[in-house]
Structure 1
Amino acid sequence: MGGGPGGCARSPARGNDRPSRADRVRRSVPVPPLIGRLRRALGVTRIARLTSLDRAGIEVHSAIRPRGHILQVCNGKGLSRADAELSALCETAELVSAETVGARVERFGSPLELRRAGLPFWPHGVCCGSAGWLVVPELAGESIRSAWAVARELGSGAPVWVPAQVLFCPPQSSADLGPIAVAWASNGTGAHPDPDEALRHALLEACERELLVRALPSGWTPPVLLSRRLTHGSLAKHAPAVAEQVERLSQRGFDVALFDLTLDDGLGLPLAGALLVDREEGPVPIAAGYACRTSPAEALMAALLEAAQSRLTDIHGAREDVAPMATLSVQLLRGALRSAGAIREVTEMPSPRARTADEVFAILRAHGVSRAAAYDLTAPGLPVRVIRVIVPGFRISELLV
């Protein structure tokens, strides 16, 4: 995955699993006009409604961008058509921005040159984890020259130079980022008309991926299934909208298991997991979804919607980087779910209610995250802001690769 000058090594997140944004957008921007403006700016030729390909009934739409580099198809989900369309377009905006370098590379040099110039910088190895993987370390050495851009540290706003290849993933012929040492990933990127909401989304996504590494290091094991499943009564009382969706899915032939995956030594934010099991044992027998939010109800709903989108991403067949679950794994997981009783309560999940990106970062700092940086990735001409975050020490779960 490493290589010569220019371009990028890419590893987009599986299924483009991101949260719905339309509810917050409606507070400041009329959704239908925004959808039209985004479509034109992004070069999206069609938004396909995938919902009818499955009987789950949860809205999933696909934005088609024939000239895309990273992906030509981006899926989005939501509780309404507008939610799903906007979600798919925001996914597309994130990729368009990552593909568009333009004049945003501000320096070309080596770590040694930056150090001699007295410039604060984070080398490739520090940035990788939340923002990709260092796959060719010898191409990120002290004397290797590559492209750099200036991000801003959260909290202080201080400038910090970061390798451009952890921010951008352009076509090889369009920009020279230097020898490619990093496999780029879309993790930690958010799009929204409000830049603070974009940053908040990006932070929560980075947290989700790191928390999953901690919570499910070996995947869905029997101890997790036996100890983390939420009771239906607790859902009905503390997350009624989620309980209603579970009931609708049950009527359509699905078993839904929702989990509190939050660890005691986590980041002070709720992490939810959802397993959507097809009773008819069709070609997609089990789909999973995960979400980190600032309230348990939001996290649970987002995880459930993500599971539905993951299922439809497989059914749709437009992605070549997804693989079916092994038959034996499906059988073992079904058996474990049948024997696993629900014992957890929604009230056991943290509920910090952080409404701004600063409040989210304050929670992270209180739980040992000492530094993070943000970069405005927005491509020219977009009616939304696209923000990329880098959190040293964070990782990306293999469940989402």
Structure 2
Amino acid sequence: MSGPRCWPTSGASTPTRWKAPASPGDSAARATPCARSRGWSWATSPQCAPSRSERRAPMLDKKIVLPGTHRARAPEDTWALIEPLLPGYGVTRVADVTGLDCIGVPVFLAVRPASETLSVAQGKGHDPILAKLSAVMETLEQQHAEHPGNERRTALARDLDLQYDVANLNARVTADAFDLLVLDWYRGVGLRSGTPTWIPCDVVDLAFTSTRDWQPVPFDASSNGLASGNTHDEAVLHGLYEVIERDVVSTLKEHAPDHRVFLDPRSISSPFCQDTIRRLDDAGVQLELALVPNPYALPVAVACIWSQDYPAVCAGAGAHSDPAVAVSRALTEAVQTRLTEITGTRDDIPSEIDVFSSVCDEPRFTVTGLDWDLAVEGLGFQDTSLSSELATLARRVEAVSGHEPIVLDLSTRPDVFSVVKVVGPGLRTMLRNDIPRYSPRADEAAQSAPLASGAKDRG
């Protein structure tokens, strides 16, 4: 087992005060402090960047099918474009931490020391270049959500002629409270119609530094729906799949009894899924794999892993139009979760995670299940273009939720990559570390009791 490898990003250096790097590649902007800067900042501020009209997004629509993902560019081409920009966004180093675990699935870290959210982001993939890009794009997404430069206004929700109920954005307060709460809003657009609309800034902003002014917190801020891609459509697709995944997985806490469908991992025909399953088996890691039924008719997978040498259950989830990609995302996410705990580099790891403080009983995993071909029959769809796939997905979300998804474009370099926030009014959300495991005892209790208060059966 080898240790982590780490590389500084090219050109990375400690910035001097009042010389915040603005838009990467814009020397005039780099020499001028941004008006919104508080002292200096590692991060690129959109206010200092050239206008979006000066930089056009690339027209790349045909999908490139890669192991465990679909993209608009080959990963080597994406890295060649992204890597020179990293210092301007405050990314100082990228590290390969795969060797800190015995599984061997590539996992990378991207470090952004002056982050106002998480200073370290994780990424995974079926080969090192995909994992490296995953980590880097994760931290770039967070950077863009810390200080969006989008058009904004201040108003009451009732004064904005919204086509959705703002209380359906996972609000922490009652619907009546929004009649009195004056909020800041970003201008977004309806994904299907293109109609301008407004999204509460608190749903988007991820700058968690303290301020002197007290303000109510009406929403649970999260990175759900925050996504990036080589193109706008690719980024929106990834964001939409994430909000679908979180909505579907949240039903595991609502349904009684548990409705997940267990899979027989040995029956999965996908070569890259089988490669990950083999790595887990060779490392002595137990695997429990399931699909979660849902009204979107999409494959949404949940994976749980456990081993004697790291006796903690680590979970992952994934959604995609391609069943193999959905399962691959769940598998690699579970491996990344485990390595994140092993490295201890993520700022928000709960302090109670201490798997060696007491004897841990081996969990009762369901290791047998339905044959792969039978389980995925009728799930997902095939498309060769990103735009067509996005249109199909948007229609399905609107049919289920009753609202079209809303998109906020956060991009500062759309000629190179796009960053968006996708919001699904009416869709539920949950943290990945809250993914519940199947509990036979809970099922037995549920079958002899009425459905829990407030639980809804949505298929």
TM-score, normalised by the number of residues in structure 1: 0.79
Q: Is the 8 A contact 1:276 1:307 kept in 2?
A: yes
- Partner Cα separation in structure 1 for residue 290 and residue 354 of structure 2: 20
> 1:305 Cα shift?
0.6
Q: Is the 8 A contact 1:31 1:82 kept in 2?
A: no
* Between 26-35 and 49-58, the greater mean CA deviation after superposition: 26-35
Q: Is the 8 A contact 2:105 2:279 kept in 1?
A: no
Identity %: 26
In the other structure, the counterpart of 2:456 is none
How does 1:2-401 map onto structure 2 within 5 Å? Answer: 24-27=71-74, 30-102=77-149, 104-112=150-158, 114-115=159-160, 119-120=161-162, 122=164, 124-126=166-168, 128-129=169-170, 134-137=171-174, 140-170=177-207, 179-217=216-254, 228-235=261-268, 238-261=269-292, 263=293, 265-278=294-307, 281-319=308-346, 320-322=348-350, 323-324=352-353, 331=361, 334-337=363-366, 341-349=368-376, 350-354=379-383, 355=386, 356-367=389-400, 369-379=402-412, 383-397=416-430, 399-401=432-434
Tell me the alpha carbon deviations over residues 200-241 of structure 1, each in whole angstroms, 9 at most, x when there is no partner.
Answer: 00000000000001245479x8x66xx722124421xx3232
The one-letter code sitting in structure 2 at the alignment partner of 1:397 is: M
SS at match of 1:79: coil
* Between 360-369 and 303-312, the greater mean CA deviation after superposition: 360-369
- Partner Cα separation in structure 2 for residue 318 and residue 33 of structure 1: 26
Number of aligned pairs? 360
Q: Which runs of 5+ in 2 are unaligned?
A: 1-65, 435-459
Tell me the alpha carbon deviations over residues 347-370 of structure 1, each in whole angstroms, 9 at most, x when there is no partner.
Answer: 422121254311211233444543
User: Taking structure 1 as reference, are residues 53 and 383 closer, same or farther at Cα in structure 2, changes over 3 Å only?
Assistant: same
TM-score, normalised by the number of residues in structure 2: 0.70
SS at match of 2:425: coil
SS at match of 1:109: strand
- Partner Cα separation in structure 1 for residue 266 and residue 217 of structure 2: 52
- Partner Cα separation in structure 2 for residue 365 and residue 76 of structure 1: 30
> 1:295 Cα shift?
1.2
Q: Is the 8 A contact 1:122 1:162 kept in 2?
A: no
> 1:137 Cα shift?
4.9
> 1:165 Cα shift?
1.3
Tell me the alpha carbon deviations over residues 240-285 of structure 1, each in whole angstroms, 9 at most, x when there is no partner.
Answer: 3212321222112222232222x1x52111011112221xx12343
| Structure ID, larger Rg | 2
User: Taking structure 1 as reference, are residues 106 and 232 closer, same or farther at Cα in structure 2, changes over 3 Å only?
Assistant: closer
SS at match of 1:374: strand
User: Taking structure 1 as reference, are residues 207 and 314 closer, same or farther at Cα in structure 2, changes over 3 Å only?
Assistant: same
User: Taking structure 1 as reference, are residues 239 and 390 closer, same or farther at Cα in structure 2, changes over 3 Å only?
Assistant: same
User: Taking structure 1 as reference, are residues 366 and 23 closer, same or farther at Cα in structure 2, changes over 3 Å only?
Assistant: closer
Tell me the alpha carbon deviations over residues 15-53 of structure 1, each in whole angstroms, 9 at most, x when there is no partner.
Answer: xxxx99976153497133134134223211111111011
- Partner Cα separation in structure 2 for residue 122 and residue 176 of structure 1: 29
- Partner Cα separation in structure 2 for residue 95 and residue 359 of structure 1: 27
> 1:125 Cα shift?
1.3
> 1:335 Cα shift?
2.4
Tell me the alpha carbon deviations over residues 351-399 of structure 1, each in whole angstroms, 9 at most, x when there is no partner.
Answer: 2125431121123344454322111122468932111111111111355
SS at match of 2:188: strand
- Partner Cα separation in structure 2 for residue 86 and residue 341 of structure 1: 34
- Partner Cα separation in structure 1 for residue 124 and residue 373 of structure 2: 24
- Partner Cα separation in structure 2 for residue 96 and residue 175 of structure 1: 22
User: Taking structure 1 as reference, are residues 325 and 206 closer, same or farther at Cα in structure 2, changes over 3 Å only?
Assistant: farther
SS at match of 1:182: coil
The one-letter code sitting in structure 2 at the alignment partner of 1:150 is: R
User: Taking structure 1 as reference, are residues 76 and 192 closer, same or farther at Cα in structure 2, changes over 3 Å only?
Assistant: same
Q: Is the 8 A contact 2:76 2:129 kept in 1?
A: no
Alignment RMSD (CA, Å): 3.3
- Partner Cα separation in structure 2 for residue 149 and residue 309 of structure 1: 33
User: Taking structure 1 as reference, are residues 393 and 143 closer, same or farther at Cα in structure 2, changes over 3 Å only?
Assistant: same
The one-letter code sitting in structure 2 at the alignment partner of 1:375 is: L
The structure carrying a bigger helix percent of its residues is 1
